[in-house]
Amino acid sequence: MTPDVRIGSGVLNQLPEVLGQARRVLVVHGRRSFRAGPAAAAVAGLAADVRCYPGVRPNPALGQVREAVALAREYSPDVVVGIGGGSAMDVAKCVAVLTGCVDDPRSYLLGSSPIPDHRSGRLVQIPTIAGSGSELTSFATVYVGHRKLSLDHPSAQADHVLIDPDLASTVPVPTAAASALDAMAQAVESAWAVTATPESRGVAVRALETLTPVLGAATKRRTFTELGLRTELARGAALAGAAINTSRTTAAHALSYALTASYGIAHGAAVGLHLRWLIGHNARATAADTRHPDGPDALRRLIADLQRICLDGAGVPLETMIDRLLAMHGSDGFQIPHREWHEDLSGGRALNNPRLVGHEDVLSNTRKSAAVGGTGAIAHG
């Protein structure tokens, strides 16, 4: 299923048209982003009967999904509307997919209960920040303690997506910078992913070409407030989301979840901290350790092309752009902890990386970053 995607200033006003004759609407939303912008007023003006699951927190826990699904099972909405950042999008997906199921949500997230091929209600996604691309993917992340679980199923794909850059006008700079890092990382990772197709790689390249001029301008001005920048950032993030929906992400994302769950680092910043060293790591692939289907030379050419895109669009290489966005976010001094990375590297995202990555690779590469004054120092002790 390919969603109907509408991008532009004011497209939020098309929500009543998208909802059509829906009688019962369940809105899953975040906290500040929902109340600070025009989304709350748009929801209040709907003619349908509306209920809300409010206050989705970042990195949603299983308990929140259980609560939201229980509300939906009682209410039986015709449409689920997700409004907010990536976490609100993810919870909305879980609600839309699992409302018609009978078992506890945990069993579906663990894969022990099969997910039906079709869902009964529709799903509308309205992001209030550009970066996660979650509005265009068919997977969601949920945490049980420090453990990451995933819902990954075609029925989690939205029917309609409304991307209105006006909704991001009040997003604080640190939050916007972390989300922009996530979008850039998704474009890069999708381009080099083992499971990329020629089509998804083309979309990923278009995403990076769209994003780099925006990120260059935003990091110079240290703000994302200008409407044109927000619009193009939203467009680039949406393209990156569409690309990873086919290719999925790679080791930078696999290694990021521990930093978010255990150390409270914002997701996009956590991804950026690892992406920075993985660019060079992947460029040094050999015939013995490459996973890329076209071999190490093709991988190096691809990474050189990605670097060229960033240089042409922003005037700096990818690593420098990551550093600038980390500084805007305020995590440029964060030290990647000395920990065991084996479990983080055992899943599908890490295996999707175009070069093998082991525990010692993480330690040695982040030590090198620390030695040259980069952002990836290791805290010992």
Q: Each residue of 235-285: pLDDT tens digit?
A: 999 999 999 999 999 999 999 999 998 888 999 999 999 999 999 999 999
Q: How far apart are CA 222 and CA 259, in angstroms?
A: 25
- Give me the residue label for tokens 């850059």: 165
Greatest alpha-carbon pair distance for the chain in Å reads: 62
What span, in angstroms and rounded, lies between the C-alpha atoms of 375 and 381?
A: 18
Question: Cα–Cα–Cα angle for 318, 320, 323, nearest 5°?
Answer: 115
3 state DSSP class of 239: helix
State yes or no: pLDDT of 372 exceeds 60.
no
- What is d(CA 362, CA 107) in angstroms, rounded to the nearest whole number? 32
Sorting pLDDT into bands at 50, 70 and 90, what band is 369? Answer: low
Answer yes or no: is pLDDT of 37 > 90.
no
**Structure-token pair, residue 352:** 């999707």
Q: What is the pLDDT of residue 368?
A: 59
Query: Token match 């970042």: residue?
Result: 58
- In this structure, the dihedral spanned by the alpha carbons of residues 357, 363, 365 and 369, taken in order and rounded to 10 degrees, is 150
What value, to the nearest 5°, has the Cα angle with vertex 180 and ends 243 and 280? Answer: 75
pLDDT at 184 over 90: yes
Inter-CA distances, 8 with 14, 95, 233, 348, Å:
11, 27, 11, 35
pLDDT for residue 381 is more than 80: no
In this prediction, residues 191-195 reach a mean pLDDT of 98
Average pLDDT over every residue of 183-211: 98
Do 272 and 279 touch, CB atoms closer than 8 A?
no
378 or 247: which leads in pLDDT: 247
The whole-number pLDDT of residue 143 equals 87
pLDDT value at 375 more than 60 = no
Q: Closest Cα partner for 192 from 102, 114, 253?
A: 253
- How far is the CA of 53 from the CAs of 135, 337, 341, in angstroms? 18, 36, 36
- Cβ-proximal residues to 16 (8 Å cutoff; 6+ apart), any chain: 45, 46, 47
Candidate from 17-21, 32-36, 324-328 with smallest mean pLDDT: 32-36
Q: Is the pLDDT of residue 327 over 90?
A: yes
Name which of 76, 116, 83, 78 is nearest 99 in CA terms. 76
Instruction: Tell me the three state secondary structure of residue 341.
Output: coil
Cα 241 to Cα 247: distance, rounded to the nearest angstrom: 10
Which one, of 167, 148, 211, 164, lies nearest residue 185 by Cα?
211
CA distance 169 to 175: 12
> In this model, does residue 119 exceed pLDDT 90?
no
- Kindly give the residue spans of alpha helices, DSSP state H, lying in the chain: 15-19, 32-36, 39-44, 62-75, 86-98, 105-109, 173-192, 198-221, 227-247, 251-263, 267-283, 296-314, 318-329, 348-351, 359-371
Does residue 117 register a pLDDT over 90? no
Query: What DSSP state is assigned to residue 56?
Result: P
* The pLDDT of residue 377 is above 70: no
**What are the chain's domains?**
4-168 (3.40.50.1970), 173-379 (1.20.1090.10)
- Whether 198 shows a pLDDT value over 90: the answer reads yes
Quick check: 136 pLDDT over 60? yes
